Structure 1
Amino acid sequence: MSTSIERCIASHPRLVDTVTVVTLFVLFLVGARISLPGATRREDLWPAVLLAVNACAGVLLSRSHPRTAVGVTTLCAMTASALGYLLTVLMLAPAMVAIYWLAVLTDRRTTRSYGIGVIVMLVATATILDPLDHPLVLKTVAPVAYVLVPVATGSTRRMHRAYLDAVHTRAEHAERTREEEARHRVTEERMRIARELHDVVAHHLALANAQATTAAHLARSNPEQTRRMLNDLTGTTSSALRELKATVGLLRHADDVGTPLEPAPGLSRLPELIDTVRSAGLRVTLTTVGRERPLSPGVDLTAYRIVQEALTNITKHAVGATACVRLAYSADRLAITVTNNAAATVPAGPPDPVVPVPTRGFGLIGMRERAHSVGGDLEAGHRPEGGFEVSTALPLYPQPSEEEERTP
C-alpha cells in the first residue's frame, strides 16, 4: 500500500505540490485565527494572509531550492511571531515542510546547521519581539519540537533512500559480475575445446601425412613395408576419428544419446602414442625416472597432450631425428622433457643455454596454456648441442589411497 502511494506521489509531483500548498495556506490561516483570538475583524487577518502566501510560495521551491525555501518560510514565521501570532504547529507547517525537504535532499551537516539556525531565530524572535507576552513554554519548547520533527523524519527518509540506492547498486554490480563470470567461463570452455581439437587434429594429421609420404616413397622399392605403413595409416585415421568424436562430445549435455563414455587419454596411453609415432618413421625412446605416482585427471591429460604435441612437432619439422621422452617423478612434481637431436636446429655460434623461440603457430601456445591451467610451467627452445627441447613441470596432486578413502 505504501509503495503504491509513493509511486503515485512520485509520478505526479506538480499535483502533490499544489494540494500541499493549498492545504498549508488554509492551515496557516486557521492557525493565525486560533493563535490571535483578538483578531476578529477581516482587516486583522490581512497580515496573516500575506504571510501565508509568501510562506506557501517558498514551499514551492522546496524540491529545487531547499535552502531558499527554508529561509523564506522561516522569515514568514518570524514575522508572524513579531506581529503577535503564537507559533503553533499550524502556522509553522510551511516551515516544517521546507525543513523536511531540506533534510531529504541535502546532507546531514547542512540539515543540522539549518535546523539549529531556524530554532535559534524562532526562539529569539518569539522571546524578544513577542508583543502579547505568550507563555514562555509555548514560545520556546514548542518551536524546538516542531523543527526537530521534520528534521528527524527527513533524515530518516534520506537514509532509507541511500540504503535502497546502495542495495540497487550492489544488485547491479552482482548482475554485471555474474554476466562477466559467465562470459569468462564460456571463453575458457571455448579455449579448452579449441586446444583439444588442435591437439587431436594436428597430431593425427601430421602422423597420417608422414605415413602417407613414407608409403608413397616406398611403394616401388618395398611393397611389403608399404602395406604395413598403409595399415598403420588406417589405424591412425580411425584413432583420429575416435578422439575427434570424443572431443566434440564435450559440446553435448551429459544425458544426450550417443555421448562418448571413453575416458580422457593420459600417460597410460603413452606407449600406444609412441608406437603410432614410430610407425611414421620417427625413432622414439621413453625413459621414466623415479616411482610412478597417481595423477589427477587434469594433470594426466595435460601431460599426455604435451608429449603428443611435442612428438607431432618433431614429426613435422625434424624429419629423420631421434626423439627422447623423459618422465621424472619427484615428491610433488612431474618433470617431462621431450627432445630431438636434429642437427639442422643447432644455432650458429658458441654453445648457449636453451634459447626460447617465438611461437609461430598454436602448438607451443597450447602446450604452455595447458601447463599453466594446472599450475605448471613450460619452456621450449633450441638446445646448445643441437635439436629442440620442450620441458615442463606439473604438480602431482596425489589421489588418496583406497585405505584412506575408507577411513572417515
Structure 2
Amino acid sequence: MLSRSRALARRHPVVVDALFAVVLYLPSASSHGPPWMVAQPKPPMSLVLLALVFAVLAVRRRWPLGTLVVTAVGVVPAVVFGFELEPFLLPVVIATYTLAVRTDRWTALSSAVPMVVFLVLVVLLLTPAPGFTKESFARFAWIGMAAAIGDAVRSRRAFIAAIEERAVRAERTREEEARRRVAEERLHIARELHDVVAHHIAVINVQAGVAGHLITSQPEAAAEALGHVRRSSRAVLDELGGLLGVLRRPEESNTPTEPAPGMAQLDSLVDAFRASGLDLRSTLTGEVRDLPATVDLVAYRVVQEALTNAHRYGTGTARLSVVYTASEIILEITNALGGQPRDGGTGLGLVGMRERAGAVGGTIRTGIDGDDRFRVLATLPLQLGKKP
C-alpha cells in the first residue's frame, strides 16, 4: 500500500501537493483567538490572500525557487494590513524545505538567507510598535530549521543513491570480469591445444601420406614412416595428458581409470540417482543408434547435469525421456520446481549444457512448462556437422 502511494505521488506530484496545500490551509484559515474568548473570524481579504499563497505550494516541487519567492512576497501584504503572521509563514517554511531538498546546498543557502533578511526587514519597517520582538525572531527561526532539515534529507537521499549506484556498478563489474576471465581462459586453452597438437598432427599427416605412397614399392621406408606416425601420436597423447593434468583439480586422479561415459552407461546413471533418493521415471522411444563419441559424451553429460539439478533443487521426483529418431536424439528432463530458479537458466550448469550442445551442433531449451515444472529439452544430431 505504501509503495503504491509513493508511486502515485511520483506520477502526479502537482495533484498530491495541491491536496497537501488544502489540508494545511483549512486549519490555518480557521477562526482564531484565546480559548476563554469568543473566536474571531478572519477577515475575508486575509482568507483570499492566504489561499493564494497556499495554492502556490501545488508547484513547489516543479519550481521550488519560484514558490519560495511567491510565498515570501505574500507575507508583505499580511504585515501591511496587520493580519496574523503565523499562517503566512507556514508556506514559506514548506517552500524553504522543498528548495533545500531539491537543489544543492549553495542554492538553498543563497536563497533562504536573503529571504529571511527580507522578511525581517519587512516586519521591522512595516509592523507598528513595538515592532520586531523575540517572538518574531522565534517565528523566523522555523525557516532556518526547515532549511537545515531539508539539507539533511537531501544529503541522506544522495548518500543512499550513491551507495545503490556503487552496488549496481560493482555487480556489473563482477559480471564483466567473470565473462572476461572465461573468454581469456578459453583463448588460453585454445592456444595451448594448438601449440601442443598442431606440430605433431602435421608430422602425422605427412608421414601417413609417405607411408601410403611407399607401402607397396618400398615397404621398409613405409614402415619407418609409420614409426614416425606412432611416435608423434604418442607425443600428442602424452602432451594432451599433461595439459589435462594442469586443468584438473588437485583432488582428481592424474590418469583416467575408465573410458569417457556415454549413453551406454545411462542405465547405471539412472540407477545411481534412484539409489540416492530421486524418484526417477525414465522412458526410451525409438531404435537405439550408435552416436559419435562427442555427441555420446554430450548427451550423457546433459542428462547427468539436468538430473543433478532436479535432485538438488526439485522436490524429489523427475522424469527422463530419451527419443531416437532418424537424424537426432531428443532428451527431455522435467521436475517440479522446488527451489529451482524460475528464470530459465542463469546457473553455470545450464550454461555449460548449452555450450556442450552447441559444440556438436545441438540445441538446449530450458524453462517452465504449462504444468509449472522445470523442463530441459536437448536436441542433438546423430551425425556431426548436421544441425537438428
TM-score normalised by the chain length of structure 1: 0.54
In structure 2, the residue matched to 1:28 is 28
1:162 and 1:261, CA in 2 relative to 1: closer, same or farther beyond 3 A? Answer: farther
Per-residue Cα deviation, 1:96-138 (whole angstroms, up to 9, x for no partner):
1111111111111211111112211211111111136456112
1:261 and 1:124, CA in 2 relative to 1: closer, same or farther beyond 3 A? Answer: farther
Query: Does residue 169 of structure 2 align to residue 157 of structure 1?
Result: no
Q: How far apart are residue 18 of structure 1 and its match?
A: 3.3
In structure 2, the residue matched to 1:108 is 105
* Matches of 1:39 and 1:49, distance apart in 2: 19
What pairs up with 1:114-133 in 2 under 5 angstroms?
114-131=111-128, 133=130
Q: How far apart are residue 65 of structure 1 and its match?
A: 0.7
In structure 2, the residue matched to 1:223 is 219
Query: Does residue 57 of structure 2 align to residue 72 of structure 1?
Result: no
In structure 1, the residue matched to 2:187 is 191
Per-residue Cα deviation, 1:35-94 (whole angstroms, up to 9, x for no partner):
9x999665x521221121111121112011111101111111222122223433x43111
1:62 and 1:27, CA in 2 relative to 1: closer, same or farther beyond 3 A? Answer: same
* Matches of 2:5 and 2:63, distance apart in 1: 24
* Matches of 2:17 and 2:90, distance apart in 1: 14
1:130 and 1:260, CA in 2 relative to 1: closer, same or farther beyond 3 A? Answer: farther
Q: Is the Cα–Cα contact under 8 Å of residues 119 and 143 in structure 1 kept in the other structure?
A: no
In structure 1, the residue matched to 2:90 is 93
Q: Is the Cα–Cα contact under 8 Å of residues 66 and 101 in structure 1 kept in the other structure?
A: yes
One-letter code aligned to 1:112? L
In structure 1, the residue matched to 2:18 is 18
* Matches of 2:54 and 2:254, distance apart in 1: 77
Q: How far apart are residue 197 of structure 1 and its match?
A: 1.9
* Matches of 2:235 and 2:247, distance apart in 1: 20
In structure 2, the residue matched to 1:176 is 172
- What's the secondary structure of 2:43's corresponding residue? helix
Per-residue Cα deviation, 1:344-371 (whole angstroms, up to 9, x for no partner):
xxxxxxxxxxxxxxxxxxxxxxxxxxxx
Q: Which runs of 5+ in 2 are unaligned?
A: 258-388
What pairs up with 1:45-84 in 2 under 5 angstroms?
45-84=43-82
* Matches of 2:38 and 2:89, distance apart in 1: 19
How many residue pairs get aligned? The number is 256
- What's the secondary structure of 2:83's corresponding residue? coil
Q: Is the Cα–Cα contact under 8 Å of residues 56 and 70 in structure 2 kept in the other structure?
A: yes
* Matches of 1:232 and 1:260, distance apart in 2: 25
Q: How far apart are residue 171 of structure 1 and its match?
A: 1.7
One-letter code aligned to 1:128? L
What pairs up with 1:251-290 in 2 under 5 angstroms?
260=255
1:51 and 1:41, CA in 2 relative to 1: closer, same or farther beyond 3 A? Answer: same
* Matches of 1:26 and 1:75, distance apart in 2: 21
Q: Is the Cα–Cα contact under 8 Å of residues 56 and 71 in structure 2 kept in the other structure?
A: yes
* Matches of 2:175 and 2:76, distance apart in 1: 58
Aligned-residue CA RMSD (Å): 3.6
1:23 and 1:109, CA in 2 relative to 1: closer, same or farther beyond 3 A? Answer: same
- What's the secondary structure of 1:33's corresponding residue? coil
1:149 and 1:73, CA in 2 relative to 1: closer, same or farther beyond 3 A? Answer: same
In structure 1, the residue matched to 2:325 is none
Higher-RCO chain (CA-CA 8 Å, sequence separation at least 6)? 1
One-letter code aligned to 2:115? V
1:198 and 1:125, CA in 2 relative to 1: closer, same or farther beyond 3 A? Answer: same
Q: Is the Cα–Cα contact under 8 Å of residues 127 and 136 in structure 1 kept in the other structure?
A: no
1:135 and 1:121, CA in 2 relative to 1: closer, same or farther beyond 3 A? Answer: closer
Q: How far apart are residue 209 of structure 1 and its match?
A: 2.2
In structure 2, the residue matched to 1:145 is 141
Identity of aligned residues (%): 34
Q: Which runs of 5+ in 1 are unaligned?
A: 263-408
1:230 and 1:207, CA in 2 relative to 1: closer, same or farther beyond 3 A? Answer: same
Q: How far apart are residue 213 of structure 1 and its match?
A: 3.8
Q: How far apart are residue 14 of structure 1 and its match?
A: 4.8
Q: How far apart are residue 225 of structure 1 and its match?
A: 4.2
Q: How far apart are residue 232 of structure 1 and its match?
A: 3.3
Q: How far apart are residue 16 of structure 1 and its match?
A: 3.3
What pairs up with 1:327-406 in 2 under 5 angstroms?
none
